[in-house]
Chains A and B, each alone.
Chain A
Amino acid sequence: MSYWVDRDKTVSEQGPLAVPAADTEAPTDRRLHPLSWLFVLLTQLRSMMFPLVAFVWFGRGDSWLLYGLIGAFAFALYALIYSLSFRYRIGERELLVRSGIFSRTERHVPYARIQNIVQKRNLLHRLFHVTELRLESAGGSKPEAVMNVITLTAAAELERVLKRRGGEARVGAEQEINEVTPWHALEVGDLLRLGLINDRGWVAVGALVAILWQQPGGYNWNSKSGANDWNPMRELYSLVEQQFGTWSNALSGWVTKGFSLLALGLLIVVLIKLLSMAMAVLSFYRFRLSGDETRLSTETGLLTRHVASARRDKIQRLIIGESWLARRLGRRWLSCEVAAGAQVEADAEHKALRLRWLAPVGTGAQIESIVARVMPGVDFANLQWKPLHPRAWLRMFKTSVFWWSLLLLPASILVSVWVLLPGAAIMLWAWLHARGWSRFAGYACDGEFIAYRAGWWHRQWVIARIDKGQTVSISHSPFDRRRGMHTVSVDTAGAALNSFALSVPYLPIDEARALAEVLRVRMSVEPDPISSHG
């Protein structure tokens, strides 16, 4: 086809890296899987789900159904045309993607620019042995290419090509071995343990409540008005109320009532833990982390398999976490953050698919060995941790006393003096928290890496290469200045807003300034061009 711009050819003819013609087979156009239209249609329908349901629900009647059918037909036609028109070509240095019938889009994606590769295979994909594949670069407003869907062999070939022609890797024997033996793998036992030590179940419960809340009349489930609308939330509430009423009447005395409340609480905790285990199995069944010289990839999931891979030099930060229960069982978890364009960043769906968990659960030694492999030069077990300001805990405690007093003192006058009793308990808790938190908190900086840790019952660590920092800043409030403390923060790309910030608070002023200066000087050195392909 004449309209293909064969950029590769001119590059390989003129460029110093020209490859002998005998080695390269003529690139051919490739199509999506013949069943692609089905998956495109399903993706379309899923984003249209709510309007469509509302359409069918509210517009009861034959004519509405007819319009609905016409709409669905239009979608199917679009899906068919889209998937038939989609072509891609594996060139020497770049991938050529063309889509569209009326307005054609032709996209040249240099292999060296591709940072994140993501695959999604739900049950339907797995039934037909196909996969949805996305390629992301650091910039741009959307993924460079979305292939919905190609066969598993085609996907494997594409990944192989990306590895080989990414501009920095050679296929070696060592790499093949690495692919066979994963760096980290989880069995069902690990997953049950993971469910036990984290509380993802609460997230599920929260989501469920939110959904039930949105049912008609969900906001006033307590009132008896609009009783003809069936509402699960109200049903649940009245059921609990009824049951509890019967219990309360049947049980005499505070002791039995107390015990039954305790039993109810225990039951809820057990249910949450079971739910957490189920969710852990669902999302991390047969989890595998593997890596080679240039890329890290993970594969995970029970029903829907997610395969994500990212360039190792584009990993921005490592975050390690540990709950109280995890500490008892000697387990931790490790996640990473990879960079992507600002717009892609905003897309929650893409974000969820991207490489994140390097070890959803693992022993301390396992986590240490993964950290050492992902960030060569970091000896996590022997980092030279330095404490924060000796009076950091006092500063922290006084802050909580201030805010709680602002709430509790007016309440004790307006409501009841007895408010001060739980208030005292809160103060005690705040004191314990401040002591525990600052005893553990600290930072480590060796000129190449910066690490920060903090927490009390729930502990977190964050590690980053200093040259991955985008900005470094010192900040302080009037309270900080009074106590002679400053905060030093390093901003990196790809950090989620709710993730553990690399921001070291309550440092003695001289130490904070010296640390910031070390970071500033290290960051100002232009990144090594070999390890950073723009």
Chain B
Amino acid sequence: MNTADSVEVVASEVATAAMVTAEVVTAPVQVREFTPHGQLLRMWIWGTLSFVVPIVLISFLVSVFAGMWFVAVIASVTGSSIVAFVTVYGRAYLDRFRCRLLADGLWVDRGVWWRSETFVPRARVQHTEVQQGPIARRYGMASLKVFTAGASHGEIEIDGLIHTDAVWLRDELLGRQGQDGV
């Protein structure tokens, strides 16, 4: 994020009306930062391999039995570039991923090319959901869904959190829920 000072200066220019002055626009108070589960990238890579490897193997069989060597070449090149892409993109995504619980809500910054920073005030959280698949359960991983009454971003999903973090965050977001704000 930019330095709080410069944000504050421009903010007071934006808020020309007396209602929002620089003193109201204070730097957000951070409660806790969440990092993705350490095994998430590995899980993505294995997930990709689980469908790339069989396809490459089949293409080798085809090239051996049908004598079309180029099938195996194309499949191996494509397959390895997909795996390389997932590794590089995944690492960049995880390096850039930021999820913070602020005093007044949840703030998520993510994306590599198309980036978005979303803020959900605590008072707007309608309900939350912690989800775990069978593999995620083995690694103690979970995804958290935060629902608001909003029409276009009504569901915010945070994938690959540590399970205990996701549960803690869920309880924290629900615990101080206020008015529905609709």
Query: In the complex, how many angstroms separate the beta carbon of B25 from the nearest chain A beta carbon?
Result: 6
Chain B residues with Cβ below 8 Å from A513 are: 1-2, 7, 10
Q: A447-B20, A521-B20 are in contact. Are A491 and B181 (CB under 8 A)?
A: no
Name A514-534 residues within 8 Å CB distance of B: 514-518, 520-524, 526-527, 529, 532, 534
Chain B residues with Cβ below 8 Å from A471 are: 118-121, 124, 148, 150, 153, 156
A446 in contact (CB, < 8 A): yes
Q: Count B-side interface residues using an 8 Å CB cutoff.
A: 46
CA distance A138 to B182 in the complex (A): 8
Q: A138-B182, A472-B119, A522-B20 are in contact. Are A510 and B154 (CB under 8 A)?
A: no
B123 in contact (CB, < 8 A): yes
Q: A50-58, A291-299, A473-481: which one contacts chain B? A: A473-481
CA distance A514 to B179 in the complex (A): 26
Q: A261-269, A366-374, A419-427, A494-502: which one contacts chain B? A: A494-502
Query: What 0/1 pattern do residues 1 to 44 of B give for CB contact below 8 A with A?
Result: 11000111011011111011000111010000000000000000
B163 in contact (CB, < 8 A): no
Chain B residues with Cβ below 8 Å from A199 are: none
Taking a contact as CB atoms closer than 8 A, the residue among A468, A516, A521 that contacts B181 in the complex is: A468
CA distance A252 to B13 in the complex (A): 68
Name A428-484 residues within 8 Å CB distance of B: 445-448, 467-478
**A511 in contact with B14 (CB, 8 Å):** yes
The SS class assigned to the B binding surface is loop
Taking a contact as CB atoms closer than 8 A, the residue among B16, B117, B179, B180 that contacts A473 in the complex is: B117
**B149 in contact with A510 (CB, 8 Å):** no
Query: In the complex, how many angstroms separate the beta carbon of B105 from the nearest chain A beta carbon?
Result: 6
Query: In the complex, how many angstroms separate the beta carbon of B59 from the nearest chain A beta carbon?
Result: 29
Chain A residues with Cβ below 8 Å from B179 are: 526-527, 529, 532, 534
**A511 in contact with B153 (CB, 8 Å):** no
Q: A514-B10, A520-B119 are in contact. Are A497 and B152 (CB under 8 A)?
A: yes
Q: A473-B119, A513-B10, A520-B119 are in contact. Are A495 and B181 (CB under 8 A)?
A: no
**A518 in contact with B14 (CB, 8 Å):** yes
Chain A residues with Cβ below 8 Å from B115 are: 475-477
Name B95-142 residues within 8 Å CB distance of A: 104-105, 111, 113-124
Q: Count A-side interface residues using an 8 Å CB cutoff.
A: 52
Q: A339-B182, A524-B104, A526-B179 are in contact. Are A474 and B117 (CB under 8 A)?
A: yes
Query: In the complex, how many angstroms separate the beta carbon of B156 from the nearest chain A beta carbon?
Result: 7
Name B43-75 residues within 8 Å CB distance of A: none
CA distance A514 to B5 in the complex (A): 11
Taking a contact as CB atoms closer than 8 A, the residue among A448, A470, A475 that contacts B154 in the complex is: A470
Chain A residues with Cβ below 8 Å from B16 are: 384, 446
**Quick one: which of A489, A494, A518 has the most chain B CB within 10 A?**
A518
A36 in contact (CB, < 8 A): no
A120 in contact (CB, < 8 A): no
Chain B residues with Cβ below 8 Å from A521 are: 20, 24-26, 104
Question: Could you show 21 A-B contacts with beta carbons less than 8 Å apart?
Answer: A138-B182, A339-B149, A446-B16, A446-B19, A470-B120, A470-B150, A470-B154, A471-B118, A471-B153, A472-B118, A473-B117, A493-B182, A494-B182, A495-B152, A516-B117, A518-B15, A520-B104, A522-B20, A523-B124, A527-B181, A532-B180
